[in-house]
Amino acid sequence: MSDNLKQQAAERAAEDVTSGMRLGIGTGSTAEFFVHALAKRVADGLDVIGVPTSERTAELAASLGIKLTTLEELPELDLTVDGADELDANLALIKGGGGALLREKIVAAASGKMIVIADGTKNVDTLGQFPLPIEVVPFGQEATRRAILSLFKEMGLPQDLQLRMAGEHPFVTDGGHHIFDAHLLKIEEPETLAQALVKLPGVVEHGLFLNLASKAYVAGEDGVKTITPASI
């Protein structure tokens, strides 16, 4: 059922794409449904060009006939469509479960708008049940880990930080970095945490996507709902 809901949300977002758009194309299982929905429209004559947020997305989109470029060639985009691991009523997000958070955030920030696509299980009152990914430079990562834990202690957050593994070795992002997953349970002050994390030497980026999404299509048993930030 979850895949069916993801597909519904993805297909709804694909309807928002118009010819001439410069698109950021997300990463993950829901984003892959969007790539397939977009490819169908391209086959029917839709003229768009996309910037993929991961090597995996690039490979899939190219195989389906979607024209691709890079942010070096096209540094300003009209729209990014991507999934989320969690989203709240203000469209604050946790992303990075698939490990592409750095490129996803760069692409989203370069876009005029960002649409989030998700199934209803990703909708939460407060972020934090999903582990927060924190991308770090491999050099000195034990010192970085300790600095992150010290920050969590100061903020009264659980000091539960796990290095993401791929089998017996650390998971490596497309950018050559590692990821710590922080099991925080509840993030009451996402803005404060986001600002503090990026100030730590060794932290490349984190999975808190704040003030980036302009709309979300969330699919549930009763259809696809449109969510816009409650603060707007």
What is the residue type of 119? D
Q: How far apart are CA 102 and CA 176, in angstroms?
A: 11
Q: How far apart are CA 61 and CA 87, in angstroms?
A: 25
Q: How far apart are CA 119 and CA 202, in angstroms?
A: 33
Q: How far apart are CA 186 and CA 205, in angstroms?
A: 20
Check if 221 is active-site.
no
Cα dihedral: 143, 188, 105, 84 (round 10): 120
- According to DSSP, residue 111 is labeled E
**CA proximity to 77, closest of 114, 103, 102:** 114
**The pairing of beta strand 93-94 with beta strand 208-209:** antiparallel
Q: Give me the catalytic one of 32, 86, 104, 135.
A: 104
Cite the active site residues.
104
